[in-house]
Chain A
Amino acid sequence: MNTTAIVFFLEAAIVSGTPLLFATLGEIITERAGNLNLGVEGMMLMGAVSGFYIGLISQNPGLALLAAMVAGAAGALIYAVLTVSLRANQVVTGLALTIFGGGFSGFMGQRLVGEVAPESIKLAFKPFVVPVLGQIPFVGKIFFQQDFFVYLSYLTAILVGLYLYKTRIGLNLRAVGENPAAADAASISVSLYKYAHILLGGALCGLGGAYLSLVYVPAWQENVTAGRGWIAVALVIFATWNPYKALIGAYLFGGLDIIGFRIQGIGFPVSQYMIDMLPYLVTILVLVVVSLKKSQENSPPKGLGIAYFREER
């Protein structure tokens, strides 16, 4: 393979990793609040179908994105009410949300099958070259000749990182996820923080879904996420709940997702099925490596998965 091919491959890996990145960032925010939301796949699907549908009837890219975020957040709201207010089991609720999201997108998408994203939206999300940065050899081509959505994902990752590590609210959020009783004693509203960040997380998952239906494909197809939500859940662990590492993880997995075409493209005989297994194999491998390497800093938020009730003894 020559350099151009590699650059093309990396550029495509970024595109393919973008929906993963949004979903992973969303789940990182959610888990930082101490809630394990396994409904990522469901929320992505809800975002994908809502964004596509609104985009189709309004022809407005802004409205489409908004719809996707609202849909993802709406899914997260169901989860938040059940797990925060009613203290239901987070795993079960998350799984239920995935199934619900699948059904929702299937139902909404019945009439959309075969529809192609409208021209106005395709135009809005067309790749463009960032001045100066786009001119850098290799790097420019890979990172800065992308579409608006991709730039938005860079920005989101950096903002989430700044938010978590540099702001007071981010500090409070981490405390809520680590030790809600400590946060509560420090007069932080645990429920408010959980709700806000579960909803925000859901909105980001919705965006990730919308990228698939509006830009990546860009047409409606049943089950457009194809398991990417689950990879995002694994990526959170890969990234050790760190949004900057999520960037690396998302593009690595994005690359794995598309490597099949490329390898076959150069005439290397390998079964498509083997290649489809790759991201999941790497996920398992990552889980093994992460659990071997025990460190206080890289371990999951201690309050993850546990409902908080102040008067519990």
Chain B
Amino acid sequence: MNLISMEGITKTFGRVVANKEIRFQVKHGEIHALLGENGAGKSTLVNMLSGIYTPDSGSIFIRGKAVKLTSPRAALHAGIGMIHQHFKLVEVMTAKENILLGQKSSFFIRDEQLTQKIKEFSHRFQLDVDPNKKVYDMSVGEKQTLEILKVLYRGANILILDEPTAVLTPQETQKLFQIMLKMKEEGCAVIFITHKMNEVLAISDRITVLRKGETVKTVNTGETTTQELAELMVGHPVNLAIKREEATPGKVLLEVKDLIVESEERVKALKGVSFSLAAGEILGVAGVAGSGQKELCEAIAGLYPVKSGEVFFKGENLVGLSPRQIITRGISMSFVPEDRLGMGLVASMDMVDNLILKEYQNQKGLLINRKPAAAKSKNIIQKLEISTPGIHHPIKELSGGNIQKVLLGRELDSNPDLLITAYPVRGLDINVSYKIYELINAEKKKGVAVLFIGEDLDVLLELCDRIMVLCGGEITGILAAKQATKEQLGLLMAGEKNGKREDTELA
């Protein structure tokens, strides 16, 4: 008998059909991966299991019994606990308080008893959590562990993880896999969403592939290959190798020297960063989230105050120039934050207006002429294969991947000499990701210097010429991508400078 069985599940949002007649089954004690492109309906499907959405039609059976999961409470009652992509934790509270939230227990909080119980739980599942640590003091990995502990404490035995590895270092990912295997050992079922295929093959027992809101196939992990999975996801054969355009680096375009920036709380976000970047070169930046990547991008783009140090671009010091002046010198930045919207685009405006945001100064006259931007929008839609009802559709209603394409399309449109792109494929499926890698490679070929801030080490290794690793605002190493290994990068990301350091400064 199946532990979970979802039959004929359909869910629509307005005119968009997110899930159509989905069939999905999970067995006891298995790790089941849910694989699919962006907008394939993975998150929608699991959100219906966790009681966030209610299906329009279809039925859900748990342990053979039909259930109506109308709220997170109902889902939890059925034993389903979900670890969301964005953690559902209250930052100002301690781990303990977060675990206690919404629990039925005594009217007054019994501190001792609770701490004891949490310790027992963390021991049993080998989850390392300090009950009295505030969430805002925790690393991403710790937060995730806490989330898992939280749902287990509530008696969940079916665990859903929505893209859990997106924010973790390779070491943290390994730790998470250990935890998942431990869950399996304890008889829990784990459903895990990802688009990183190597992870799927490494950890799962079975894989269900979704495409465009429909179930394509469920396969046993042992009997499949990356190639087959990719084809199932996309619907046609794909070439999975990222082609590295052979580098013929030109002149050094960007030279950063001893860059120090401070946040508003007077914490040093970059502690003396120095590197150079040549035309026709892709410099990858690796590091755990929050190691100073954002501050580095923003400091170069003139959005973040520089405490000391210099940023030379074509021999000119950019420090002190306004963002607008920096843009006119040929620097373009696209940053995709975790929530994918917060930066660069105005969610409620349409594509045309978002394009105009960056170029209205170049227009003459008092009134805005939307025609050139409209033409460009159509062009970008075609070039990047953006699926949208039209150029006048508010972009917040597009899927995350399409929003990112709009952002990148706009930045490439300005024909920059230096392209700074941070997490351009964050949360994107392989099809779109490869499209974006191609675009970046095309820029490189044109002689554009690219600063590529990424999360997927495999991609960094394949795409970039050199990889710079940031840890806590410092450069722990700059490696030539061809010789570097993931393990080396992982160690550097964790702050170990004794990983083989190789300063391959290109002249």
Q: Which of A176-235 contact B (CB under 8 A)?
A: 178-179, 181-188
Pairwise interchain contact A169-B107, C-beta atoms closer than 8 A: yes
Q: Counting chain A CB atoms within 10 Å of each CB, which of B71, B88, B105 scores highest?
A: B88
Contact with B along A77-103 (1 / 0, CB 8 A): 000000000000000000000000000
Chain B residues with Cβ below 8 Å from A171 are 93, 97, 100-101, 109
Is B497 in the interface zone, CB < 8 Å from A? no
B105 touches A168 (CB 8 A): yes
Which A residues are in CB contact (< 8 Å) with B89?
179, 182
Considering the chains assembled together, what is the distance between the CA atoms of A168 and B105 in angstroms? 8
- Any chain B CB within 8 A of the CB of A262? no
Residue in B closest to A162 when the chains form the complex, CB atoms: B108
Check B108–A168 contact: CB distance below 8 A: yes
A185 close to B93 (CB less than 8 A): no
Residues of A within 8 A of B76 (CB): 187
* A111 part of interface (Cβ distance < 8 Å): no
- B residues within 8 A CB of A166? 108-109
Contact of A311 among B52, B103, B264 (CB under 8 A): B52
Assuming the contacts A187-B76, A187-B102, A311-B52, asked whether A302 and B107 have C-beta atoms less than 8 A apart, the reply is no
A60: interface (CB < 8 Å): no
> Does B113 have its Cβ within 8 Å of any Cβ on chain A?
no
1/0 contact string of A275-299 vs chain B (CB within 8 Å): 0000000000000000000101101
Instruction: Evaluate contact between A297 and B92: CB separation under 8 angstroms.
Output: yes
Beta-carbon contact of B102 and A183 below 8 Å: yes
CB distance from B285 to the nearest CB of A (A): 28
A174 within 8 A of B: yes
Q: How far is the CA of A175 from the CA of B82 in the complex (A)?
A: 18
Instruction: With A175-B90, A185-B84, A185-B88 as known contacts, state yes or no: A167 contacts B265, CB within 8 Å.
Output: no
- Once A179-B91, A296-B92 are accepted as A-B contacts, the answer to whether A184 and B72 lie under 8 Å apart by CB is yes
Cβ contacts A298-313/B at 8 Å (1 or 0 each): 0100100000001101
Among A169, A182, A310, A311, the most chain B Cβ lie within 10 Å of the Cβ of: A182
Nearest Cβ on chain B to A204's Cβ, whole angstroms: 21
Residue B437, interface by CB 8 Å:
no
Chain A, Cβ-Cβ closest to B53: A311
Is B134 part of the binding interface, using a Cβ–Cβ cutoff of 8 Å? yes
Q: Does B360 contact A (CB under 8 A)?
A: no
Interface of B is mostly: loop
Cβ B92 vs Cβ A182 within 8 A: no
**In whole angstroms, how far apart are the Cα atoms of A185 and B92 in the complex?**
17
Central interface residue in B52, B86, B92, B134, by most chain A CB within 10 Å: B92
Q: Which residues 59-93 of B have a CB within 8 angstroms of A?
A: 71-73, 76, 82, 84, 86-93
Q: Is A172 an interface residue when CB atoms closer than 8 A count as contact?
A: yes
Which residues of A sit under 8 angstroms from B82, Cβ to Cβ? Answer: 185
**Contact in complex: B134, A296 (CB < 8 Å):** yes
If the complex has contacts A178-B91, A179-B91, A187-B71, are A310 and B108 also in contact, measured as CB distance less than 8 A? no
Q: Decide if B264 touches A294 in the complex (CB within 8 Å).
A: yes
**A174 CA to B92 CA in the complex, in Å?**
10
Residue in chain B with minimal CB distance to A184: B72
Bound CA span A167–B97, Å: 11
Give which listed residue, A168, A182, A185, A310, contacts B103 with CB less than 8 A.
Answer: A168
Which residues does chain A contribute within 8 Å of B52, judged by CB atoms? 310-311
Instruction: Report B-chain residues with C-beta under 8 Å of the C-beta of A182.
Output: 87-90, 98, 101
- Distance between Cα atoms of A21 and B98 in the complex (Å): 30
- The CA of A167 and the CA of B52, in the complex, are separated in Å by 27
How far apart are the CA atoms of A299 and B86 in the complex, in Å? 21
By CB atoms of chain B within 10 A, which of A168, A179, A185 has the most?
A185
Residues of A near B92 (CB, < 8 A) are: 174, 178, 296-297, 299, 302
Q: Which residues on B sit within 8 Å (CB–CB) of A186?
A: 72, 88, 101-103, 150
B363 within 8 A of A: no
Q: Please, how many angstroms separate the alpha-carbon atoms of A46 and B78 in the complex? A: 46
Q: What residues of chain A lie closer than 8 Å to B108, measured between beta carbons?
A: 166-168
Q: How far is the CB of B152 from chain A (nearest CB, A)?
A: 13
Closest to B77 in A: A187
CA distance A284 to B150 in the complex (A): 42
- Complex Cα–Cα for A248 and B188 (A): 52
Smallest CB gap from A181: residue in B:
B88
Residues of A within 8 A of B150 (CB): 186
Given known A178-B90, A296-B136, A310-B52, contact A188–B102 (CB-CB < 8 A): yes
CB neighbours of B103 from chain A (8 A): 168, 186
| Min C-beta distance of A182 to chain B, whole Å | 4
Residue of A nearest to B137 (CB): A296
A-B contact pairs, 27 of them (CB 8 A): A167-B107, A167-B108, A168-B103, A168-B106, A171-B93, A171-B109, A172-B102, A175-B90, A175-B98, A178-B91, A178-B93, A181-B86, A182-B88, A182-B101, A183-B90, A183-B101, A185-B72, A185-B88, A186-B101, A186-B150, A296-B134, A296-B136, A297-B92, A299-B92, A302-B91, A311-B52, A313-B13
The 4 closest A-B CB pairs, nearest first, are: A187-B73, A186-B102, A182-B88, A185-B88
Interface residues of chain B, those whose CB is within 8 Å of chain A, are 13, 50, 52-53, 71-73, 76, 82, 84, 86-93, 97-98, 100-103, 105-109, 134, 136, 150, 264-265
